[in-house]
Amino acid sequence: MTETTGTTSSTTTAPRSAPAPSRSLPGRGTATRSLVALDIDGTLLGADRVVPAVTVDAVLDARRSGHHVVLASGRSLVGVLPVARALGFDQGWVVASNGAVVARAGDGLPDGYRLEKMHTFDVEPVIRLARAFIPGIQVGVEEIGWGYRVNRLFERGLVNGQQRRASDTELWNVPAPRVILRAEGALALTEPLRDLGVTASPAGPDWLDVTPRYLSKATALERVRERIGVDPRQTVAVGDGVNDLEMLTWAARGVAMGHAPAAVIDAADEVTGTIEEHGVVAVLRALGGSN
């Protein structure tokens, strides 16, 4: 999802369909250590942007049981870190900017994080193309751990961190992990941008997140999985947005939130409750303890 979100609808916790026999589905009361990737907006946070106490407890219980809970978000790192703190991450992995940034989060680290991997790209061609199509498009260029250089300030609550108005040269003179493009009709830029060799991910009806080529939450999570040594068959992912599609298919057990759009539900192995029903809690409670 985008930097903020929250949404609707109502579905009971239930499998969407029987999984294929060849696919291992971890976390059903088995005593196995899993990597559990959780989207933030629309999965952990609702419209009030607060992590419910029941969700905090479920995440803490899963971590105490030995499972690796990894936050995986379209948010910038500066937007992910407060959620990690709210969840009690003393040391934990986070994926930000739709996979362009991988970091360790924890109160004992300088500034609360340590970068493990950051992918950046030349943003000038992206901004020039976007303006050629939509001259008045709003642009935000991410600065790791701080906020955004912008051509126009985004309204309060739309992005995390600080904002600084910048000239064209300042917008694109330094490679960045992500560019936000916002305007009515912005989604029409998806394919032209991909033709430039970048990843363009719709994150709302008027919002595109642009990151380096061949990146997604899934590519970053695979890096984390290899680093911590979890079996690929012991991976779980929960999300609700279009930018979660690759993550849900990457995981051995992909779970869509009950309010997710049809494309996300179709990509998942099962569906849990909506954000209002704390659907992610049901998934976390089913994990069981580790060996």
Q: pTM of whole model > 0.75?
A: yes
pLDDT confidence of residue 223: 97
pLDDT confidence of residue 112: 86
**Contact present, 70 and 228 (Cβ < 8 Å):** no
- Extended strands (E) in the chain: 35-38, 68-72, 92-96, 101-105, 113-118, 138-143, 147-150, 162-165, 179-182, 199-202, 207-211, 235-239, 253-256, 270-271
Coil, strand, or helix at residue 199?
A: strand
Residue with tokens 């363009």: 200
Counting runs of H as helices and runs of E as strands, what totals does the chain give? 9, 14
DSSP string, 75-90: S-HHHHHHHHHHTT-S
Phi and psi for 113 in degrees, rounded to 5? -160, 160
Spatial CA neighbour of 250 closest among 284, 211, 219: 219
Q: Read off the tokens for 115.
A: 């970068």
Coil, strand, or helix at residue 153?
A: coil
Distance between CA atoms of 164 and 144, rounded to whole angstroms?
13
Spatial CA neighbour of 285 closest among 92, 60, 72: 60
Query: What is the residue type of 74?
Result: G
Maximal C-alpha separation, the chain: 57
- Per-residue pLDDT tens, the chain, 291 aa: give them: 444 433 223 222 333 333 333 333 454 444 479 999 999 999 999 888 899 999 999 999 999 999 999 999 999 999 999 999 999 988 899 999 999 999 999 877 888 899 999 999 999 999 999 999 999 999 999 999 899 999 999 999 899 999 999 999 999 999 999 999 999 999 999 999 999 999 999 988 999 999 999 999 999 999 999 999 999 999 999 999 999 999 999 999 999 999 999 999 999 999 999 999 999 999 999 997 644
**Contact present, 271 and 22 (Cβ < 8 Å):** no
Q: Read off the tokens for 196.
A: 């430039």
List residues bridging with 84 in a β-sheet.
none
Domains of the chain and any CATH numbers: 35-118+215-285 (3.40.50.1000), 124-211 (3.30.1240.10)
Spatial CA neighbour of 172 closest among 152, 188, 151, 156: 151
pLDDT confidence of residue 59: 97
- Extended strands (E) in 156-198: 162-165, 179-182
